[in-house]
Structure 1
């Protein structure tokens, strides 16, 4: 396993559509292991292969039990409800935006051996499914928000919200 460099939003690789994974071999397993290690090191909720410069349809998402899900060739097959909230990205460090996503999402994907499976997520997990799959299609969350906030602005907003609830 190895840490990979996470690309930032100005890198052209992040704006390209990824190719499907067709070979479920040691090279893919190494990529998935590296994505997991890189994600853990960055303390993120998800990471897609194009974020480390690999234009293949593979993502890692942390589920509600803090387990890392490997999703190869994922596609959203059902969604329900709506949620709106702040979203960030390891490829857009220090910036946050309000994004609408489904409240629940069901994904069909393959595992590292090519076996198909389905998984459901809600709230933050549904948000992560959508966010990471968007990466595979060359899109960033920043395209879905009206404004990007800095860490400082986000802290101020959260502090003000906390005072309103007190």
Structure 2
């Protein structure tokens, strides 16, 4: 069942034009994430991480992030530049590796999701308030688009 779930997660991620997806974002309560940063020069691999845990981190890096859970919002997020990450492969092999760059950042972002943390939780309270205001505007616009327009025609059913 796990390979099917992983395939479904990659499909969902690609449909939404994301680079990472945590299992709880699709309603599955597992420590599981998929990541594809193959569009960069960093790696041409796609990644599936099971039971992942950051065991060490160091350095600082600020980078603009987006999130499939909060569409249309991009925020400057400060994270460790380097991480040591312990995980299992989809085949159950245990590994521990160091990651940096976009892949390291994506791992941290998805670990946050698995721990119930969103990117707006990683910014200052002032920025968080601005984002909430922006989200309310987006929601309001979305509802207006979905509301049927007044029709001058009548229909007989």
Query: Aligned with 2:91: secondary structure?
Result: coil
For residues 37-48 of structure 1, the aligned pairs below 5 Å read 37-48=11-22
Structure 1 residues 70-81: aligned runs within 5 Å:
70-81=48-59
Contact persistence 1:39–1:47 (CA under 8 A): yes
Aligned length: 124
Q: How many angstroms does 1:67 deviate by?
A: 2.0
Q: 1:1-166 residue pairs with structure 2 within 5 A?
A: 27-63=1-37, 64-146=42-124, 147=127, 148=131
Could you tell which deviates more after superposition, 53-62 or 140-149?
140-149
The structure with more radius of gyration: 2
Give the deviation of 1:62 after TM superposition.
Answer: 2.2
Per-residue CA deviation, residues 62-99 of structure 1 (Å, 9 max, x unaligned), is 24314211000100122121001211101110011121
Question: Which 5+ residue runs of structure 2 have no aligned equivalent?
Answer: 135-157
After the TM superposition, list the runs of 4 or more consecutive aligned residues in structure 1 that deviate by more than 6 angstroms: none
Ranges in structure 1 where 5+ consecutive residues have no aligned partner: 1-26, 151-166
Q: 1 or 2 for the larger relative contact order (CA 8 Å, sep ≥6)?
A: 1
Partner of 2:144: none
